[in-house]
Chains A and B, each alone.
Chain A
C-alpha cells in the first residue's frame, strides 16, 4: 500500500516538475518578442477575420431552449406511447393519462409563456442581419491592417 502511494506521489510530482519546469525555464531564459502575427490566434494558418464572439439575436437562444423543451417532451412521451395499450388493459389507463396530462400541462404553460412574451413572433425586425455583421467585421479587419 505504502509503495503504491509512494510511486503515485512520485508520478504526480514528476508530472508537476516536468510541466512547470519547462514553463519556468522558458520564462527565465527565453526572449520575448511581440508582434501582430505572433499575437494572432493560430487557426490552421488561415488569416483571421473578425471576432469569434459576435452578438446573435437573443431570440435564437430562446427558440433553441424551446426546442430542447419539446425535444425532451418527445423523448419522455415515447415510452408512454409504447406502454399505453398495456396500461389500459392493466386498469391503470386513466391514472397514467392524468399524470401525462399534468406533464403536458406544465410544458404547455411554458409554451404559453413564450408565446405571450413574443418569442414566437418573427415579424419583428431583427437587430442585425447576417450580411451586416460580415460587412462590419471586414471593415474592422481592414481598419486594423491599415493601422
Chain B
C-alpha cells in the first residue's frame, strides 16, 4: 500500500500552476496581459500549496509512499518558510525580471519547480527521495542563476555553481552508497538504528559508515554554503539576478537545512565515532562543530573587506549558516534547540529576502546595485526605504526588537546551555556576530550619512517590490517584537522529532572492552 497521496498535494499545486503558466506563455497573443495573469496563476499555486498544508498543522507524523516521505510538523514549518521566501522573491521579481530582459514566465516556472523540489526535500525520508529532490531543486536554481542571459557574469556564476554543485551531488551519492552498503537500508530511521549497531560492534565497517556520514555532511555543507565548502557562494550570489540571489539565499538554505537536520538527527547516531579520537561529540558532532566555527569566523571575516554589497551579503549568509550549524551541532536531544533553528530560519528568510529586495529597489539606471557606494544617501532619497534597510541590517547583526535578535538569542542560549565544548562555540559565535555588526552597520551608515547622488531609484513605480518589502519589514519587526507565537509553533513542531526520531546515543566501549583491545 502506497499510503495517501495527499502529501503530494502542495507539490502538485506548484507543478500544475507551473504548467499553466507555461501554456499561457507559449500560446498567448497579448504578452502584457499574459504576464500579469501568469504571475497571479503562479501566486495562486503557491497559495494553494500553503492552504493544502492545512491538514498537517496539528496532525501526527504520517508516512507515505512506503515510507519514502514523512510529513510532520517540522516539515510543515519549513515548508511555510520556503513558500514565504518563494512568494517574496516572486513579488520582488515582477518588474525586475522584465527590466533585465528575462521572460517572467520562464522565471516563474523555474521558481515553482525549485520550490516543489524544496518541498519534497523537507518531507523526504529516504536516501533516494533526498537525492531526487536535491537534484530537482539544484537544477532549477542553476538555471535561475544563469537566467540573466545578457550578463556574462550571470552565465559564469551559473557555470561555477553547476560544476561545483554537480561535484557535491556526486559526493552526496557516494556517501549514500556507503551508508547503504553498511546498513542495507534506504530509509533514514532504519539506517540510524543499524548505524548504532555498527558503531557498537566496531567490526571494521564503522570506517565506511563514517566515510558515508562525512560525505553526506560535505554535500549538505556545500548546499548550505558552510566553510570550507563555500567557494561557490560569493560568485553565484554576485552573478545571479538579485531577486534570484534572495531566493537562493533563503529558500535553498531552508530546504537544505531541513534535510540536513533530519538526516543528522535521525540517521546519524549521536556520539558515534570510529575510534576514540572524536571524544563525546562523535564524528558528526565534531564535524558540525568545526563547520560551524569555520563558517562563523571566515564568513564574517571575509564579509568585512567586501565593498560589493552582494558579495558582502553572500559572506554574511555563510556566517548565518555557521550560526544555524552551531544550533544543530549543540542541539543533541534538546528539542528547544531545534525550535531555535526553525525560528532562526524563518527570521533569516524574512530579513535576507528583504535585504536583497532592497538592493533591487535601490538599483538605478538599469544597473544593479554593485558597490556599497551605490547605496549612498538612499535614506534621503526615500526615507521609508532607509528605515527598512536599517531594520534588515539591524536584524542581521542581531540588534534587539528585530527577528534576527530573537533568532540569535534562541540559538546562542541553547548552545551555551549545552555546555562543554559548545560553550567555546557559543563564545565564538557571539564574538563573530559582534564583529559582523561592523559591516552591517556600515551599510546603514552609507544610507544615512553619505550625500545622496542624483540618480533616481528604480523601485518607485514597482508595486510588487513594494509589497515584498512591506511584507518583509513587517515580518522582521513582528517576529522580533512578538516572537512567542512563532517560537511556540516551532517548539511544538519539533516535539515529535525528539520523541520519535532521536537516534539513541552510542556509548563508546569501555577501555577494558576486548574489542577495543583487539584494535
Contacts and interface: CB of A to CB of B under 8 A. Distances in A.
Nearest to A117: B26
A113 B26 CA distance: 7
A109 B26 CA distance: 10
B83 to A, nearest CB: 22
A1 B26 contact: no
Interface residues of A, number: 7
B19 interface: yes
A118 to B, nearest CB: 11
B80 to A, nearest CB: 27
A109 B27 contact: no
B22 interface: yes
B519 A109 contact: no
Interface string A92-104: 0000000000000
Interface string B23-36: 10011000000000
Contacts of A34: none
Nearest to B27: A116
A112 B23 CA distance: 9
A109 B519 CA distance: 59
Contacts of B27: 116
A109 B25 CA distance: 12
B26 A112 contact: yes
Interface string B5-42: 00000000000000100110011000000000000000
Nearest to B204: A1
B34 to A, nearest CB: 13
Contacts of B19: 109
B22 A113 contact: yes
Contacts of A2: 519
A144 to B, nearest CB: 27
B117 to A, nearest CB: 15
Contact of B519 (A1, A113, A116): A1
Interface residues of B, number: 7
A13 B26 CA distance: 61
Contacts of A113: 22, 26
Contacts of B23: 112
Contacts of B518: 1
Contacts of B22: 109, 112-113
Contacts of B519: 1-2
Contacts of B26: 112-113, 116-117
Interface string B423-450: 0000000000000000000000000000
Interface string A1-20: 11000000000000000000
A94 B512 CA distance: 64
B313 to A, nearest CB: 33
A113 B105 CA distance: 12
A2 B22 CA distance: 62
Interface string A103-147: 000000100110011000000000000000000000000000000
A8 to B, nearest CB: 12
A97 to B, nearest CB: 17
A117 B26 CA distance: 8
B337 to A, nearest CB: 36
Contacts of A109: 19, 22
A1 B27 CA distance: 68
Contacts of A112: 22-23, 26
Nearest to A116: B26
Nearest to A110: B22
A140 B19 CA distance: 48
A1 B518 CA distance: 8
A16 B222 CA distance: 28
Interface in A45-85: none
B514 to A, nearest CB: 14
A112 B22 CA distance: 9
Nearest to A112: B26
A55 B26 CA distance: 29
A117 B22 CA distance: 11
A116 B24 CA distance: 11
Nearest to B103: A117
A18 B429 CA distance: 43
Interface in B468-519: 518-519
Nearest to A1: B519
Nearest to B19: A109
A109 B138 CA distance: 21
Interface string B295-323: 00000000000000000000000000000
Of B19, B26, B27, most buried by chain A (CB within 10 Å of CB) is B26
Interface in B357-377: none
Interface in B361-401: none
Interface of A: 1-2, 109, 112-113, 116-117
13 contacts: A1-B518, A1-B519, A2-B519, A109-B19, A109-B22, A112-B22, A112-B23, A112-B26, A113-B22, A113-B26, A116-B26, A116-B27, A117-B26
CB-based closest 4 A-B pairs: A116-B26, A1-B519, A109-B19, A113-B22
Given A2-B519, A113-B26, A116-B27, 10 more contacts: A1-B518, A1-B519, A109-B19, A109-B22, A112-B22, A112-B23, A112-B26, A113-B22, A116-B26, A117-B26
